[in-house]
Amino acid sequence: MIGLSAIALVASGGAALAHNNGSGMKADADGNGVVTRAEAQAAATKMFARMDADGNGVITDADREARMAARRTEMFAQMDADKSGQISGEEFMAHRHEGKQRGKGGHRMGMRGHGHGKMMTGMADANKDGSVSQAEFTAAMLSRFDKSDANKDGQVSTEERKTMYEQMRGKIREIKQDRTAS
């Protein structure tokens, strides 16, 4: 479980550095192909604000549940083409076949990865009080940034991001293999 939590933090920390609609990296505010530490910090602040559903300055299980409920509501609204409050078999199949099961940015809107958010915030919860403050979240994200910045120049290039991603994928494969062997 600790290994999975570490991988989840790596994956989520990398989220601020991930691709975004073909325009480069999400945190790359100026679009120059590199993410500076300042850009990563700004992206962490923005991501925290999205994750803090109730706006109380901490991320809790309640925030995660609120985000999931909002996603389910959005998905239902997309599928309910006639706005009847029910999804017919035809609406379901039309939605599925038209590829509308994908949300903003083309990402699947299903429940895959639901547990990763809890693991990620658990890893960022430095004081283990069951919630993650803005400071804890930013510290965790910047720690990931620092680990990704292989040459320690204060920037994460596309190459460094790809290297970090490949390392993360390798670790995930190892964990899956270990689980399969057990």
pLDDT tens by residue, 7-52 = 444 444 444 454 443 334 678 999 999 999 999 999 999 999 999 9
Give the pair of three-digit tokens for residue 119. Answer: 């693991």
Question: Could you tell me which residues are beta bridge partners of residue 155?
Answer: 36
| Separation CA 59–CA 87 (nearest Å) | 32
Q: Which residues contact 176 (CB under 8 A, 6 or more apart)?
A: none
Which is more confidently placed, 151 or 24?
Answer: 151
Q: What is the mean pLDDT of residues 53-63?
A: 93
Contact 84, 95 (CB under 8 A): no
pLDDT tens by residue, 91-112 = 988 887 776 444 444 444 444 4
Q: Which of 33-37, 103-107, 140-144, 178-182 bottoms out in mean pLDDT, i.e. has the lowest?
A: 103-107
Nearest one of 119, 105, 84 to 26, comparing CA atoms:
105
Neighbours of 100 (CB within 10 A): 14
pLDDT at 153 over 60: yes
Q: How confident is the model at residue 139 (pLDDT cuts 50, 70, 90)?
A: very high
Looking at residue 57, what is its pLDDT? 95
Token look-up 């689980």 returns 179
Residue 43 DSSP code: H
Instruction: Write out the H or E segment, with its range, that includes residue 156.
Output: strand 155-157
Q: Which residues contact 149 (CB under 8 A, 6 or more apart)?
A: 37, 155, 156, 160
* 0.85 exceeded by pTM: no
Instruction: Count up the domains in the chain and report the number.
Output: 1
Looking at residue 21, what is its pLDDT? 33
Integer-rounded Cα Rg, in Å, for the chain is: 18
Domain ranges, residue 12: 2-181
